[in-house]
Chains A and B, each alone.
Chain A
Amino acid sequence: MNYETVIGLEVHVELATKSKIFCSCNAKYGAGPNEHVCPACCGMPGMLPVVNKRVVDYGMKAGMMLNCHINRTTTFDKKSYYYPDLPCAYQTTQWFAPVAVNGTVEIETSKGKKNIRIKQIHMEEDAGKLVHDIAEDTTHVDFNRTSVPLIEIVSQPDLSSAEEVEAYLERLKMLLRYAKVAECAMEHGTMRCDVNLSVRPEGSDQLGVRTEMKNMNSIEAIKHAIEYETARHIDAIENGTEVLVQETRRWDDIKGKSFAMRNKETAGDYRYFPDPNLMPVVIDDAWYDSIQASLPELPEEKYARYTEQLGLSEYDAAQLVKSIALCECFEAAHAVCGSAKDAANWMISEIMSILNQRKMTYDMLNINGTSLGELIKLVMDGTVGRANGKKILNAMFEDASIVPAEYAEKNGYIMSNDTGLIEQVVKAAIEAEPKAVADYKGGKEKAIMSIFGRCMKELKGNCDPQTLRTILIDTINKM
């Protein structure tokens, strides 16, 4: 019998706000233990939560990117459970009226396009982090992450393979990064995923027994886990190797197996109720419209515009739309230099390779697009040679404040039109390389390159290669 896998995902994404959801503490990842804490996010009695409006902005924006209906009155609720990383023993989340509901995300796999329905997106606070010290046999609590804003994106059980799950997660990352609401870096834990999975005979309209794997933090692990669980479920159904029960399981990526969690870790009643300290958030038309107006062009829309209006090749356009940071840099550079092709060329052959060399993601691009445009313009109009242009670009990666024209001036990267100087350099080079001259004259055309190189080095690259070449050949021929 053939089986199909039915998968629904709950994806937690940390929002990229400066401050936490209910207090003004820094929400950035990477500080020392308990450096970003205050009495409010530590849950001390007497502190009252006040909603960070930016979190609602981002929640709405995420909802709109995923084609959701935005609830114009959205409320916060308390979810109770005991865990040492949860200082109040309750988490403030959205249970009764989440910010966004009923959306769709289109994915594309080897089998074509498919719409994945989104059940809801709700805003909530993250919990802290337990740090286990094996040497001392103790556990420490780090509250930096407590109250960092999250959204949880809950899909309908519309996914049916590891490939679809990967496409879905990549699409979510792309959309949320385009909207600049989240970093979505699984390696930093700013995107985490719970996988709900069941298996049923193909064509059946009954759902099988569902298991949940929590806190998956890499796409590779998710793919392995889906394959493992699918096989385990089919084995259980066909061969009766075990009785499937609805349960939460932990994926062990090293062992390549899932394990049932202790009942105690999963059982319980969260006792949700509306948080009386947080008034319902009412989203009026002006607020709604301002968020709608701030939505970015989608990757497909950019691609179409780049290829149809700006005349870029399909390859170039596809490279650029991989990241909103690349697109923005490209667009700003284009606005200054006026040539889409030159700008795209610099982005793809120079910037993307520098990023790769530096092991930076595209989203980490820190070059100012306007400065890049100025640089491209300098190279285009012959003020700076291309090789020197690349040196300036590398310097710009180190220091974002560099103004290309000033930097070129200061470092002697301005092209020379002084033919007298060029002739002088050429003359000296010919004298220094009698063998190359003889080879060239003897018919070895390539021999001229070493003299050319010597000249270019002497001129510090500040010479139009064509002009140099002409003067060099003329001078040799006249000898």
Chain B
Amino acid sequence: MNFYTAKADTAAERRVAVDDMILTKTMPTAAGSRMLDGYMSLFDAEVITRLENAGYAIAGKTDVGEFAIDLVGETSYHGAGTENGTLLSASAEAIKSGDVPAVVCFDVNGSVCRAAAQNGLVSVKPTYGTVSRYGTIPAACSGETVSVMADSTAKCREILDVLAGHDDKDGTSLSEEQCALVKTAAAKPAAKVAVLTNFCEAVDDAVSAKLDAAKAALTAQGVEICEIADEKIAAARAAWNILMCSELCNNVSRYDGVKYGYRTQNFTNIDELYTNSRTEAFGELLKTAILFGSDNLSTENYMKVYDKALRIRRVVCEAFEELFKAYDAVLLPACSRLAYTEAETKADKYLAFEENQYTAPASITGLPAVTAGSVQLIGSMFSENMLFETAKLLAKEGE
């Protein structure tokens, strides 16, 4: 479900939508959650200010899954968008329908990457800290990143140029010099790309075909492809699920039924007000994440679970650093299949915590990732331009 504030006088190429994790003063922001139904922010996100200052019109907002932790938006309180039983991404639909050429999205758990891959679009999740998170609904702060989904690599780059830059209002924002590195500049495509084979085993035939096509396209254009297995990077999923759910549990604890959106009708004291509001307003996937995250942070489990996940984050970062000594980029799938059905998400409620095995490596490390040709490329910090040039080789093959 998409909601638009049409600005008819704006040229189509200057129209941009933002997803519902990004706070806007003039439109409600609900993060796909009944808990924030009708919430009007007192301020605009930094990315909104940057877009408007650069002459873009915010054409409207696209729906997201509750706190953007699901597959492609199916857990929104507005209900899952589907077509013949297949799940639709609201952001991808906004682009494919021609309403907007690009959507600025908030990537918490890989939904942007998956939606781009499944819809043949391009997305970029830039280096952590290069785009301000001021004014984004916090979910998993240590890895979430403002991202762009668009109909071409050129459009992705154009929008990223507008968004990137230092912001004093975000304590994790990198310096202006570092942020400038991700803006469009002349770059060469990757010369050597490592394909992570252990990520390619559980994918279906359609994704396999996309991977083969990508490898073929790169090889045809002189890129050296090496196939390697890396078990350390594969540990990213388990660690990211721990970190994401723990941070999420803490970040959504402020929604207690008192100050925001939804309040239960059914309470006689403050404990019931808290508990019943949260029980009624939150969806099942989020509740699972809250319980899992809360348990991870308990005194009993902190060292065993959360602290270990932080250590795994370091190991994964080091594994990538090691790879980037020999390779310019890493190629891996963005998802295990090119479409999800509503039926399978009902049968396997936690599919999002499985499917994020492909996106967790970039989420947990903060490394930049570009999705194009239905596959994903990850590069070293600030290598966005190299990734875009490499992605262009994939896109050519697709045309």
Q: Which residue numbers of A lie inside 8 Å of B, CB to CB?
A: 39, 43-51, 78, 80, 82, 84, 87-90, 269, 271-274, 276-279
In contact, A279 and B171 (Cβ under 8 angstroms): yes
Chain B residue nearest to A278 in the complex (CB): B171
In contact, B250 and A90 (Cβ under 8 angstroms): yes
In contact, B254 and A45 (Cβ under 8 angstroms): yes
A-contact 0/1 string along B237-278, CB 8 Å cutoff: 000000000110111011010110000000000100010000
In contact, A50 and B169 (Cβ under 8 angstroms): yes
How far apart sit A253 and B222, CA to CA, in the bound complex (Å)? 82
In contact, B297 and A271 (Cβ under 8 angstroms): yes
A-contact 0/1 string along B122-157, CB 8 Å cutoff: 000000000001111110011000000000000000
In contact, A89 and B253 (Cβ under 8 angstroms): yes
Not counting A46-B135, A269-B297, A278-B171, a sample of 8 additional A-B residue pairs whose C-beta atoms are within 8 angstroms of each other reads: A43-B254, A47-B134, A88-B253, A90-B254, A271-B249, A271-B299, A272-B297, A273-B250
- Judged by a CB distance under 8 angstroms, whether B83 is at the interface is no
In contact, B299 and A48 (Cβ under 8 angstroms): no
Interface size on B, residues (CB 8 A): 39
Q: In the complex, which of the residues A49, A80, A89 has the most CB atoms of chain B within 10 Å of its own CB atom?
A: A89
Q: List 20 A-B contacts (CB under 8 A).
A: A43-B254, A44-B41, A45-B41, A46-B43, A46-B134, A46-B135, A46-B138, A48-B134, A50-B169, A78-B250, A82-B253, A88-B254, A89-B253, A269-B297, A271-B302, A272-B302, A273-B250, A273-B306, A276-B172, A278-B171
Task: Please name all residues of chain B whose beta carbon is closer than 8 Å to the beta carbon of A87 when the two chains form the complex.
Answer: 254, 259
How far apart sit A78 and B36, CA to CA, in the bound complex (Å)? 23
In contact, B298 and A271 (Cβ under 8 angstroms): yes
Task: Please name all residues of chain A whose beta carbon is closer than 8 Å to the beta carbon of B298 when the two chains form the complex.
Answer: 269, 271
Q: In the complex, which of the residues A51, A272, A277, A278 has the most CB atoms of chain B within 10 Å of its own CB atom?
A: A277
Chain B residue nearest to A88 in the complex (CB): B254
In contact, B253 and A51 (Cβ under 8 angstroms): no
Task: Please name all residues of chain A whose beta carbon is closer than 8 Å to the beta carbon of B41 when the two chains form the complex.
Answer: 44-46
In contact, B253 and A90 (Cβ under 8 angstroms): yes
Q: In the complex, which of the residues B135, B254, B256 has the most CB atoms of chain A within 10 Å of its own CB atom?
A: B254
Q: How far is the CB of A411 from chain B (nearest CB, A)?
A: 52
How far apart sit A45 and B251, CA to CA, in the bound complex (Å)? 9
Which 9 residue pairs spanning A and B have beta carbons closest together? A276-B142, A271-B297, A89-B253, A276-B141, A46-B135, A46-B23, A88-B254, A50-B171, A45-B137
In contact, B171 and A89 (Cβ under 8 angstroms): no
Q: How far is the CB of B144 from chain A (nearest CB, A)?
A: 9
How far apart sit A276 and B274, CA to CA, in the bound complex (Å)? 26
Task: Please name all residues of chain A whose beta carbon is closer than 8 Å to the beta carbon of B306 when the two chains form the complex.
Answer: 273
Q: In the complex, which of the residues A44, A88, A271, A277 has the most CB atoms of chain B within 10 Å of its own CB atom?
A: A271
Chain B residue nearest to A83 in the complex (CB): B270
Chain B residue nearest to A22 in the complex (CB): B171
Task: Please name all residues of chain B whose beta carbon is closer than 8 Å to the beta carbon of A271 when the two chains form the complex.
Answer: 249-250, 294, 297-299, 302
Chain B residue nearest to A270 in the complex (CB): B299
Q: How far is the CB of A34 from chain B (nearest CB, A)?
A: 13
How far apart sit A181 and B31, CA to CA, in the bound complex (Å)? 41
In contact, A48 and B254 (Cβ under 8 angstroms): no
Chain A residue nearest to B260 in the complex (CB): A45
How far apart sit A88 and B36, CA to CA, in the bound complex (Å)? 15
Task: Please name all residues of chain B whose beta carbon is closer than 8 Å to the beta carbon of A43 when the two chains form the complex.
Answer: 254
How far apart sit A455 and B294, CA to CA, in the bound complex (Å)? 85
Chain B residue nearest to A43 in the complex (CB): B254
Considering only residues 342-383 of chain B, those with a C-beta below 8 Å from chain A are: none
Chain A residue nearest to B273 in the complex (CB): A84
Task: Please name all residues of chain B whose beta carbon is closer than 8 Å to the beta carbon of A278 when the two chains form the complex.
Answer: 171
In contact, B137 and A277 (Cβ under 8 angstroms): no
Contact A48/B43 with A80-B297, A88-B253, A272-B302 known, Cβ cut-off 8 Å: no
Q: In the complex, which of the residues A46, A48, A51, A90 has the most CB atoms of chain B within 10 Å of its own CB atom?
A: A46
Contact A269/B171 with A39-B43, A84-B258, A89-B253 known, Cβ cut-off 8 Å: no
Interface class of chain B by DSSP: loop
How far apart sit A11 and B118, CA to CA, in the bound complex (Å)? 57
Q: How far is the CB of A344 from chain B (nearest CB, A)?
A: 49
Contact A84/B270 with A46-B134, A50-B168, A90-B253 known, Cβ cut-off 8 Å: yes
How far apart sit A38 and B175, CA to CA, in the bound complex (Å)? 26
Contact A45/B302 with A90-B250, A276-B141 known, Cβ cut-off 8 Å: no
In contact, A46 and B45 (Cβ under 8 angstroms): yes
In contact, B23 and A269 (Cβ under 8 angstroms): no
How far apart sit A39 and B137, CA to CA, in the bound complex (Å)? 13
Chain A residue nearest to B243 in the complex (CB): A276
- Judged by a CB distance under 8 angstroms, whether B42 is at the interface is yes
How far apart sit A128 and B30, CA to CA, in the bound complex (Å)? 26
Chain B residue nearest to A264 in the complex (CB): B271
A-contact 0/1 string along B203-227, CB 8 Å cutoff: 0000000000000000000000000
Q: How far is the CB of A360 from chain B (nearest CB, A)?
A: 40
Q: How far is the CB of B361 from chain A (nearest CB, A)?
A: 18
In contact, B297 and A48 (Cβ under 8 angstroms): no
How far apart sit A44 and B259, CA to CA, in the bound complex (Å)? 9
A-contact 0/1 string along B33-70, CB 8 Å cutoff: 00010000111010000000000000000000000000
Contact of B299 among A82, A89, A269, A274 (CB under 8 A): A269
How far apart sit A78 and B258, CA to CA, in the bound complex (Å)? 21
- Judged by a CB distance under 8 angstroms, whether B318 is at the interface is no
Q: How far is the CB of A468 from chain B (nearest CB, A)?
A: 68
In contact, A48 and B253 (Cβ under 8 angstroms): no
Q: How far is the CB of B349 from chain A (nearest CB, A)?
A: 24
How far apart sit A43 and B399, CA to CA, in the bound complex (Å)? 48
Task: Please name all residues of chain B whose beta carbon is closer than 8 Å to the beta carbon of A80 when the two chains form the complex.
Answer: 250, 253, 297
Task: Please name all residues of chain B whose beta carbon is closer than 8 Å to the beta carbon of A269 when the two chains form the complex.
Answer: 297-299
How far apart sit A51 and B169, CA to CA, in the bound complex (Å)? 10
Chain B residue nearest to A274 in the complex (CB): B310
How far apart sit A47 and B134, CA to CA, in the bound complex (Å)? 6
Chain A residue nearest to B43 in the complex (CB): A39
Chain A residue nearest to B298 in the complex (CB): A269
- Judged by a CB distance under 8 angstroms, whether B13 is at the interface is no
- Judged by a CB distance under 8 angstroms, whether B170 is at the interface is yes
Task: Please name all residues of chain A whose beta carbon is closer than 8 Å to the beta carbon of B256 when the two chains form the complex.
Answer: 82, 89
Task: Please name all residues of chain B whose beta carbon is closer than 8 Å to the beta carbon of A277 when the two chains form the complex.
Answer: 138, 141, 171-172
Task: Please name all residues of chain A whose beta carbon is closer than 8 Å to the beta carbon of B136 when the two chains form the complex.
Answer: 46
Q: How far is the CB of A131 from chain B (nearest CB, A)?
A: 15
How far apart sit A44 and B25, CA to CA, in the bound complex (Å)? 13
Chain B residue nearest to A45 in the complex (CB): B137
Contact of A89 among B42, B141, B254 (CB under 8 A): B254
In contact, B270 and A48 (Cβ under 8 angstroms): no
Q: How far is the CB of B138 from chain A (nearest CB, A)?
A: 6
Q: How far is the CB of B305 from chain A (nearest CB, A)?
A: 11
Task: Please name all residues of chain B whose beta carbon is closer than 8 Å to the beta carbon of A78 when the two chains form the complex.
Answer: 250
Contact A82/B274 with A271-B298, A272-B297, A276-B141 known, Cβ cut-off 8 Å: yes
How far apart sit A50 and B170, CA to CA, in the bound complex (Å)? 7
Chain B residue nearest to A49 in the complex (CB): B171
